[in-house]
Structure 1
Amino acid sequence: MSTNSPFYEVYNQKLSKEQKEFDGTLGAISLMIFSHFIPFYFTLSLRYNSGGLYYPSSFNEFIENVQETCSPTWSACYLYMGFFLIQLILAAILPGPEVKGLPVPTENNRQYTYKCNALTSWYLTLICISVCHFTGIFRMTILADQSDSILCVAVIFSDILSIYSHLYALKTNQTCRMTHSPIYDFFMGIWLNPRIRILGQDVDLKMIAEVRLSWLLLFLLIISAALKQYEIFHTITWPMIFILTAQILYINACMKGEECIPVTWDIFYEKWRWMLIYWNLAGVPFVYAFQAYYILVNSLRTQKPNENISMTFIIILFIVLIFAYYIWDSSPSQKIRFRMQQQGIYITRNGFPQVPWNEIKNPKYLKTECGSPLLIDGYWKYCRKPAYTADICMATCWALSCHQWFGVLPYFYPIFFFFMIIHRYTRDMTRCQAKYGKDWATYCKRVPYAFIPGVI
């Protein structure tokens, strides 16, 4: 994008102003309450009704159950904070390519540099936990045993970090696009590029939280559930294998494609805020791990982990998962690589696996007045959000892996995710309309479908 064009100057002015979303302050308060309620409700449902709907007989019983189940412990604190600090140190010291982000309009088009070593951190973490578990130095099943207390620590820590970051940004005058509505600004954030100095290296908190802290902790929770099942039954069931496979594919893709993240809207525009901090450090790991723990507690309840498993259904789920994963992996790669090439910051990805058709040679695109081209090739000539559709398909597969036990809570995640992705889509469309103007209308006529070609 040419930073000298008149359109770019107008767009910069639009980006410097904050428009209230989520119905403003009332919506922010509601979402914060809801976000705290959900993981604890899931925890109580697993403890007291094997993942079924949890109905306390009285308010006093509810309080007693919360105190018994969701209390922080020093052991849980050491586990969670140890994980957090280790990942921060690895982000600072491990080797990895350095990638420039997009020019930041609110900071005089400054381009930050990001050290992309998540893949190295991921592999090193896998090696270390394998060695520690199988030598008995540190049994990974401790996470499954103490997951309730770790959740409580994660929630407390994420809330404290959110408050501290907000006050620090105010004190140091590192604020951006404030509405001066205190609760809403806390919810949506005021600090765009939070960085801390560790061992002489700058570590971007927003990027490390979004790319690795959330997904690595999720993986550790799921592998702990699988190992716990094996410890008890000397087998890992196919539903658990499916969940483990699905999450490894998802998490590995996030790690191997970290160098693509700096040019995304999440890093370029979204602020370091309560919603991002809480969901990355507490919400995502524990809510997204629910299916694995649902399978674990129900196999313990019945003492028949392989009962009523339809292998035909499991095979179908694997086929759908692999197909959806392929689209989810390759379609963003096409677009982000195209964007990086346009910015002159493209680097070759080396992470495994490199799926076919993840890059388009000589791609077709629409030129725009603002100077930022719109890709109309590859997946992107068929619909505007192919990765969103694939993401929803994968989320649905995760829920369906729990089919051998009747329950509604495993389907919370795909339903929640569907509405979240629709909201994100509307935000994207509003932003693109503001950025591209009449060129966006031309693009929408050229690519009329949002999610599924020929359907919607």
Structure 2
Amino acid sequence: MRLLITETNKISHRCSLCLEFVWTQLGYLCNGLYSWYATLALSAILHYTGLFLLTDIIDNFGPIMSVAIIFGVVTTLLTYIITVATGAQHRMSGYLMYDIFMGAPLNPRIGRLDLKIWAEIRVPWVILFYVSLSAALKQYEVHGYVSAPTAFMVMAHFLYVNACMKGEECIPTTWDIFYEKWGFMLIFWNFAGVPFTYCHATLYLAKWDQIHGSPLTFSLPYIIFVYTLCLVGYYVWDTANSQKNRFRMQLAGTYIPRNTFPQLPWGTIKEPTYVRTEHGNLLLTSGWWGIARKIHYTGDLAMAISWGLIAGFESLIPYFYFVFFLVVLTHRVTRDMERCAKKYGKDWETYCERVPWIFVPGVY
């Protein structure tokens, strides 16, 4: 088993004597993909031997969600208390509820295990996938087959969690990891929010099956359209993120090609173009990033809307993820545009002239 260690995150510590900042570079053990496939293999063995039936997940969804909620709250409080008691807190505001919500530690670890990355990658998306897989297995158990909409949810959630695992070495450079602290906002959302709210389309399909006695179905052209929308969105999202992160790693000299599944065409820009700012930052203007400034969000939103479309139009419940995600991304993009304009000034104006569109070329 090949283990990849990246060292990309830095934490500042203020020296009480000299009032200088000392930078410590953290190492990350990125073996998510191996752990993911080991989990899939182990769960298959447990299910088919009867030691743990995966259908129990959907049958006990409520109790499992309740445990996740309690676990998220308890973990938040314990993390805050331990961090403050050991004097390891960062950027505290002095307002108790706010500091509990935002968190006290920056990069809490147990040995080599980074708790933020573990909670963000190894927990929520894996649970989300198993909720959909459990629903599909339950449908097969009852009807002897899996419907196209339910199979779609398994495919969509598998692709998402697999992408997170295969690109785990890119996670340390994200805002959540290098800047946000580990508090209720991240802890609760990763343990209880993501896995038990992003699965509304799966739950809707399962409930439809229970109420009507048969799976929800659509015409073949409609099914093909939704599958295609999801796969195209996934391709844009996956390759755009790959281009950006490999560009960063190539500049830092940390890029190591990995034969992880799936390696999609156009995942690496061979001769990237960019705008160099006065700060020394490079703003990428080639590949997907020469088409739109937030093209990866476009792909992500295409996947999100497909998760709702596969459940039809009789309820808004399956569209919760898309609506929530759209609001979050709109706010995030507005904030990012303002921050970059203030930081880069005329360089940002030059960049916007080179890449005028934000989400969809010719539209917005």
Q: Which residue of 1 aligns with 2:356?
A: 448
- Please state if 1:322 is matched with 2:224: no
What CA deviation, in whole Å up to 9, does each residue of 1:42-61 have, x standing for no partner? xxxxxxxxxxxxxxxxxxxx
AA aligned to 1:399 is G
Which residue in the other structure is 1:310 paired with? 219
Which segments of 5 or more consecutive residues in structure 1 lack a partner in the other structure? Answer: 1-93
Which of 25, 32, 36 matches 1:111?
A: 25
Partners of 2:130 and 2:206 lie apart in 1 by 15
The question of whether the paired residues in 1 share the 8 Å contact of 2:108 and 2:115 is answered with yes
In 1, the alpha carbon distance for the partners of 2:210 and 2:325 equals 28
Q: Partner amino acid for 1:141? A: T
Return the letter of the residue paired with 1:100: E
Q: Whole-Å Cα distance in 1 between the matches of residues 284 and 22 of structure 2?
A: 27
Code of the aligned partner of 1:443:
Y
The alignment partner of 1:348 has SS state of coil
| 1:104 positional shift | 3.6
Q: Taking structure 1 as reference, are residues 266 and 434 closer, same or farther at Cα in structure 2, changes over 3 Å only? A: farther
**Whole-Å separation in 2 of the counterparts to 1:173 and 1:436:** 36
Deviations 1:249-292 (A, max 9, x none): 11111111101111222211121121111111111001111211
Contact 1:325 1:394 (8 Å CA) reproduced: yes
Cα-to-partner distance string for 1:396-422 (whole Å, 9 max, x where unaligned): 10001111x711211121111100111
Q: Residues 5-59 of structure 1: CA distance to partner in whole angstroms, max 9, x if unpaired?
A: xxxxxxxxxxxxxxxxxxxxxxxxxxxxxxxxxxxxxxxxxxxxxxxxxxxxxxx
Residue aligning to 1:393: 302
Cα deviation 1:357-394 (Å, max 9, x = unaligned): 00001211111222221111111112111011111111
Task: Spell out the pairing of 1:55-204 with structure 2 (5 A cutoff).
Answer: 96-105=3-12, 108-197=22-111, 202-204=112-114
Q: Cα–Cα, structure 1 residues 416 and 376, in superposed 2: closer, same or farther, change >3 Å?
A: same
**2:187 corresponds to:** 277
Residue type of the alignment partner of 1:379: W
What's the TM-score, normalizing by structure 1? Answer: 0.75
AA in 2 matched with 1:240: T
In structure 2, runs of 5+ residues without a counterpart are: 14-20
CA distance in 2, matches of 1:95, 1:147: 35
Cα drift, residue 194 of structure 1? 1.0
1 CA distance for matches of 2:195 and 2:78? 22
CA contact (8 A) 2:198 2:320 kept: no
Partners of 2:22 and 2:330 in 1: how far apart? 32
Residues 1:433 and 1:178: Cα distance change in structure 2 (over 3 Å): farther
Q: Secondary structure at the match of 2:304?
A: helix
Distance 1:437 1:121 in 2: 44
**Post-superposition shift, 1:434?**
4.9
Question: Match for residue 16 of structure 2?
Answer: none
Contact kept, 8 Å, 1:144 with 1:224, in 2: the verdict is yes
Distance 1:427 1:104 in 2: 24
CA-CA distance at 1:117 after TM superposition: 0.7
Looking at secondary structure, tell me which structure has more strand per residue.
2
How far apart, in 1, do the equivalents of 2:343 and 2:87 lie?
Answer: 27
Matched with 2:284 is 375
Return the structure number with greater relative CO, CA threshold 8 A, min gap 6: 1
- Residue 326 of structure 2 corresponds to 418
1:175 maps to a residue whose letter is Q
Residues in 2 aligned to 1:409 and 1:216: alpha-carbon distance in whole angstroms: 22
**How many aligned residue pairs are there?**
357
The equivalent residue for 1:436 is 344
CA distance in 2 between counterparts of 1:424 and 1:190 reads: 23
**Conserved in 2, the CA contact under 8 Å of 1:101 and 1:268?**
no
Measure the CA separation in 2 of the matches of 1:102 and 1:344.
Answer: 14
Return the letter of the residue paired with 2:129: F
Deviation of the 1:239 alpha carbon: 0.5
User: In 1, distance between residues paired with 2:360 and 2:71?
Assistant: 40
- The structure 2 residue matched to 1:300, chosen from 207, 210, 215, is 210
Q: Which amino acid aligns with 1:206?
A: K
Secondary structure at the aligned position of 1:111 is classed as strand
What's 2:18 paired with? none
1:251 corresponds in structure 2 to 161
Q: Name the residue aligned to 1:36.
A: none
Deviation string, structure 1 residues 337-365 (Cα, Å, up to 9, x no partner): 00111112111122101000000012111
- Mapped to 2, the partners of 1:120 and 1:412 lie a distance apart of 32
Amino acid corresponding to residue 378 of structure 1 in structure 2: G
Hey, what does 1:331 align to over in structure 2? 240
CA RMSD of aligned residues (A): 1.6
Structure 2 counterparts to residues 227-266 of structure 1, below 5 A = 227-266=137-176
Aligned partner letter, 1:210: E
Report SS of the residue matched to 2:323.
helix
Structure 1: which amino acid aligns with 2:135? Answer: A
More deviation, 260-269/412-421: 260-269
Aligned mates of 2:237, 2:49 — CA distance in 1: 37
Output the CA distance in 2 between the equivalents of 1:349 and 1:187: 37
What residue is the counterpart of 2:116 in the other structure?
Answer: 206
